[in-house]
Amino acid sequence: MHLRKEPGPPAERRAAPFVCMFIDQVRIQIKAGDGGNGCMAFRREKYVPHGGPSGGDGGRGGDIVLVSSEHYNTLLHFRFNPEHKAERGRHGEGSNCTGRNGADVELPVPVGTIVYDDPTAEQLHDFTHAGERFVVALGGRGGRGNARFATSTHQAPTEHEPGRPGQEMHLRLELKLLADAGLVGFPNAGKSTLISRISAAHPKIADYPFTTLEPNLGVVKMDDLRTFVVADIPGLIEGAHLGHGLGIQFLRHVERTRLLVHLVDLSDATGRDPVADFAVVMTELASFSQELVNKPMFVVGTKLDAAQDADRRASLERLAAERGLPFYAISSVTGEGVEALRYAMGELLLSRPPE
């Protein structure tokens, strides 16, 4: 007896694996709710001989509120949903009934998001911790009904107001990760390997350039249970500020850091001079922001296990001494020097509270 194997679904119908993209900058359009119109009505009931104006006010339009949340680490949810509109207020009704207010719309954003008015580039708000609420667009006020215009000399008013329009804005949201220390350097300098060694992060590690395509965060725990956060960003190459490689757009994620850890490959396989590599990365940092160059910095020679030429380490160590920068030589594979570097990073960061 032969069992016929049923064919599987066509290749184009098979479910593709979900890949979460790291989106750190989006533009959105928001519109707060309009206010409801005021009502014009007069009371006409049995046994009420002197019925007067009874038009109620319109309800207020809903606001647009941005709320920072720890449950989001990217702005991806805005990429395919860029327009957001709050509910308008209900119109006023007779018998002095005020219209219902429109419901507010709350938009969650990651901690570290900066809100800009897109046309003017004005910074509106910076979310630095979870649970912050920022009303970015106010709903329109409801119009007054004709009952509001009644006076002793004007007892049958027909005036009533339309609702005010809600605020409408074009925003640019920019995410800057909140980390205490940032790892910078050439591609394949050992940044991802180091962060996987000192924290529980598991970034992609491979023996080819630009393995890291998006920033990674790792929480480093000290012996006294205190912690600090380290950010690993994609590597920089010469001309990154001109768009070479992955560019310098990811440097915004180390702007908030209090310490830069500059990793330089000491292995012989690169064929490059470590001092020249250091100078190239410093040039790219300065092209993005002079403040990055002026941050506290550790110079770290990596891949010590594959460094056969002692002069490469000596030249980089002399350069760090000339600039007054602490120097460490490590091997993330064997663990040599890693604990000393982790301890030094923790001592510097935990002795300097964040601004």
The CATH number assigned to the domain holding 221 equals 3.40.50.300
CA pair distance 237, 248, nearest whole angstrom: 9
Asked whether residue 14 is domain-assigned, the answer is: no
pLDDT grade for 15, boundaries at 50, 70 and 90: very low
Residue 36, pLDDT above cutoff 60: yes
Is pLDDT of 245 > 60?
no
Which residue in the block uniquely carries the two structure tokens 């949340």?
Answer: 69
Does 148 lie in the same domain as 70?
Answer: yes
Q: Are residue 144 and residue 220 in the same domain, yes or no? A: no
Q: What end-to-end distance do the CA atoms of the chain give, in Å?
A: 77
Lowest mean pLDDT among 9-23, 116-130, 138-152, 180-194: 9-23
Higher pLDDT pick, 137 / 213:
137
Q: Residue 69 falls within a domain, yes or no?
A: yes
**CATH number of the domain where residue 166 is located:** 2.70.210.12
- pLDDT of 224 over the 80 cut: no
Laid out side by side, the sheet with 133-137 consists of 105-110, 64-69, 133-137
- Kindly state whether residue 13 falls inside one of the protein's structural domains: no
- Alpha-carbon distances of 68 from 74, 106, 254, rounded to whole Å: 12, 10, 20
> What is the phi/psi pair of residue 340, to 5°?
-65, -40
Q: Both 169 and 309 in a single domain?
A: no
Residues 199 and 319 occupy one common structural domain: yes
Query: Are 112 and 127 spatial neighbours (Cβ–Cβ below 8 Å)?
Result: yes
Q: What is the pLDDT of residue 235?
A: 74
Residue 9 within a domain: no
Nearest to 352 by CA among 306, 310, 296: 296
pLDDT of residue 85: 96
Same domain, 79 and 160: yes
Reading the block at residue 116, the tokens are 């800009």
Model confidence at 19, in pLDDT bands (50, 70, 90)? very low
pLDDT band at residue 82 using 50, 70 and 90 as cut-offs: very high
What DSSP state is assigned to residue 200? S
Domain count, the chain: 2
Are residues 166 and 186 both part of a single domain? no
Residue ranges making up the domain that contains 222:
181-351
pLDDT score of 244: 56
Judge if 139 and 251 occupy the same domain: no
Q: How far is CA 204 from CA 140, 207, 221, 328, in A?
A: 49, 10, 21, 24
The last residue of a domain, from among 128, 153, 175: 175
Same-domain pairing of 111 and 222:
no
pLDDT at 334 over 70: yes
- Hey, which residues does 12 pair with through a beta bridge? none
Given a cut of 90, whether residue 167 has pLDDT beyond it is yes
Lowest mean pLDDT among 12-21, 186-195, 201-210, 232-241: 12-21
Same domain, 284 and 311: yes
* 134 and 43 within one domain: yes
Quick one: which of 251, 250, 304, 244 has its CA closest to 274?
A: 304
User: Given a cut of 50, is residue 164 above it in pLDDT?
Assistant: yes
Q: Among 155, 175, 195, which residue terminates a domain?
A: 175
Identify which has the larger pLDDT, 354 or 191.
191
Mean pLDDT of the chain: 84
* pLDDT recorded at residue 263: 92
Question: Last residue of some domain: 114, 145, 175?
Answer: 175
Please tell me the predicted confidence (pLDDT) of residue 22: 66
| Confidence at residue 16, expressed as pLDDT on a 0 to 100 scale | 42
Digit-coded pLDDT (tens) for 95-129: 889 999 999 999 999 998 999 999 999 999 999 88
* Contact criterion met (CB below 8 Å) for 159 and 37: no
Residue 14: per-residue pLDDT: 44
Q: Are residues 140 and 283 in the same domain?
A: no
B/e letters for 51-82, b = 16+ CB within 10 Å, e = fewer, are: eebbbbbbbbbbbbbbebbeebbbbbebeeee
55-80: pLDDT as tens digits: 999 999 999 999 999 888 788 889 88
Based on its alpha-carbon atoms, the radius of gyration of the chain, rounded to whole angstroms, reads: 30
Nearest C-alpha neighbor of 280 from the set 256, 262, 267: 262
Q: Domain for residue 157, yes or no?
A: yes
Residues 255 and 169 in one domain: no
